[in-house]
């Protein structure tokens, strides 16, 4: 019997399950193909308090963008929420945006 090696790009679903069966791919093969990554440690996320966050970034929560009073949103009946990626800054506005961010100390 022989073997065959090829590079074929594809999108696959892999499920990690606890079972007594022999795996189709061994751990070494999975890491060699960058399907899994060995993690030697995990960092536990710090608990955050909303008031601490607001205090730490108070310039973001003051001034423009702060709404006074009550705000109502009228939603379409049966609407399905969607998430879209952030829009890129148009090339014609990038220089001005970069200048403004530099002036405000955002690098």
CA distance linking residue 61 with residue 54, whole number of Å: 7
**Which band of pLDDT confidence, cut at 50, 70 and 90, is reported for residue 2?**
low
Hey, where are the domains in the chain? 11-40
Tell me the per-residue pLDDT of 43-86, one tens digit each, with 9 for 90 and over: 777 777 788 888 888 877 776 766 678 878 888 899 898 888 88
Say if residues 99 and 106 touch (Cβ distance below 8 Å). Answer: no
């Amino acid at each position: 019997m022989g073997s065959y090696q090829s590079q074929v790009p594809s999108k696959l679903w892999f499920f990690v399950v606890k079972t007594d069966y022999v795996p189709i791919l061994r751990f070494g093969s999975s890491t060699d193909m960058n399907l899994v990554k060995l993690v030697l440690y995990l960092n536990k996320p710090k608990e955050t308090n909303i008031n601490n966050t607001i205090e730490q970034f108070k310039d973001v929560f003051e001034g423009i963008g702060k709404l006074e009073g009550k705000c109502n949103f009228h939603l379409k009946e049966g609407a399905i929420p969607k998430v879209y990626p952030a829009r890129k800054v148009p090339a014609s506005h990038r220089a001005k945006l970069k200048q403004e961010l530099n002036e405000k100390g955002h690098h």
